[in-house]
């Protein structure tokens, strides 16, 4: 079709009995100019950048460029421009030559979320604790700093002894997006120095529980402690600091909103640490 102005008619049909066929008159402008919008990568992970480009075919000369987007918020007057969308986005470009001839095109960028990886907060344990680190994101691929490639790993003092153990994990989602996390665990020798365990008696009931755990604590002398409940993937689900234990104390811990399974109760201060296993059923 040669360049020029053309009239056309479009017919639209529907199941509306009052207007099952609608005729719309159109005015078409045909030019030799063709714009092709592209992206270096049309699929991104959150936080990644790509270059969108606009190439003009059919004519030569100087051009002006006008980019916009949906969702709105992006504009540019460059032919090629770097973008970092937060969500799936359409980018539209309108190109005009010196005679006023205009052509448009668009490119769609899909954005995948990064996997959320949290293997827990840095924690100190006595050597009798066996801890599970869980990277979550089922169906992803995993690479731990110790070479394991499973979703979760179990850590303790076996083969390490006392001291600091550092672990990290890299998680690649099914969409190819990568996140990582790291944790530092310190295993300390509580034998002979765990004064807290020798002066404080802790009873938990009921255990297993449907959600409410009652702590009956008897302290031979005044002790200022921190009480924590930690999930098997290292997430702190309950924390109360500067708890003064003196004589008999009763503390209720509500875990009813959390997932069923095993949790670790930690009562600790600079004199030692008490560990109790909690079962939420």
| pLDDT value of residue 209 | 92
92: pLDDT strictly greater than 70? yes
196-280 has the same fold as 123-187: yes
Q: Where are the domains of the chain?
A: 34-112, 123-187, 196-280
Helix and strand element counts for the chain (H, E): 1, 20
Instruction: Average the pLDDT over 264-276 and give the result.
Output: 83
> Has residue 55 got a pLDDT over 90?
yes
pLDDT at 234: 67
Residue-wise pLDDT for 109-162, tens only, equals 999 999 999 998 787 777 667 778 999 999 999 999 999 999 999 887 766 667
Peptide bond into 159 cis (omega under 30): no
**Overall CATH class of domain 34-112:** mainly beta
Mean pLDDT for the stretch of residues 64-90: 97
Kindly state the percentage of the chain with pLDDT values over 70. 94
More confident residue, 239 or 149: 149
The pTM of the full predicted model, rounded to 2 decimals, is 0.65
Topology of the domain comprising 196-280: Immunoglobulin-like (2.60.40)
CATH number belonging to the domain at 123-187, selected among 1.20.1300, 2.70.70, 2.40.50, 2.60.40 = 2.60.40
Non-local CB neighbours of 143 within 8 Å, separated by 6+ positions: 149, 169, 170, 172
Q: How many CB atoms lie within 10 A of CB 19?
A: 9
Number of Cβ atoms within 10 Å of the Cβ of 248 = 10
pLDDT cut 90: percent of the chain above it: 49
Closest CA to 72 of 53, 59, 85: 85
Residue range 168-195, pLDDT digits in tens: 999 999 999 999 999 998 887 666 556 7
Confidence of residue 18 (pLDDT cuts 50, 70, 90): confident
Residue 89 CB coordination number (10 Å): 20
Tell me which of 233 and 25 has the higher pLDDT. Answer: 25
At 104, phi and psi to the nearest 5? -135, 155
pLDDT at 205 over 60: yes
Q: What is the pLDDT of residue 142?
A: 98
- Residue 110 CA to residue 100 CA, distance in Å, equals 33
């Amino acid at each position: 079709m040669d360049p020029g102005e053309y009239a056309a008619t479009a017919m639209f049909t529907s199941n509306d009995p009052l207007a099952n066929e609608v005729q719309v008159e159109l005015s078409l402008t045909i030019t030799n100019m063709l714009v092709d919008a592209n992206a270096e990568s049309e699929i991104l992970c959150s936080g990644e950048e790509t270059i969108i480009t606009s190439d003009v075919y059919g004519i030569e000369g100087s051009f002006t460029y006008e980019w916009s987007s949906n969702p709105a918020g992006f504009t540019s007057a460059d032919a090629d421009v770097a973008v970092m969308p937060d969500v799936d986005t359409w980018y539209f470009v309108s190109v005009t030559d010196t005679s006023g001839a205009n052509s448009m095109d668009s490119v769609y960028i899909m954005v995948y979320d990064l996997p959320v990886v949290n293997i827990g907060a840095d924690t100190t344990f006595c050597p009798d604790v066996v801890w599970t680190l869980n990277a979550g994101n089922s169906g992803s691929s995993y690479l731990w700093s110790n070479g394991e490639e499973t979703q979760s790993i179990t850590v303790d003092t076996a083969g390490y002894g006392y001291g600091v153990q550092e672990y990290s994990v890299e998680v690649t989602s099914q969409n190819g997006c990568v996140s990582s996390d790291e944790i530092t665990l310190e295993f300390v020798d509580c034998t002979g120095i765990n004064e807290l365990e020798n002066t404080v008696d802790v009873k938990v009931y009921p255990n297993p529980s449907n959600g409410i755990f009652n702590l009956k604590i008897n302290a031979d002398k005044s002790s200022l402690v921190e009480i924590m409940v930690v999930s098997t993937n290292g997430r702190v689900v309950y924390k109360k600091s500067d708890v003064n234990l003196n004589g008999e104390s009763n503390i209720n811990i509500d875990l009813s909103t959390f997932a069923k399974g095993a949790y670790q109760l930690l009562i600790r201060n600079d004199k030692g640490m008490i560990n109790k296993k909690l079962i939420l059923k």
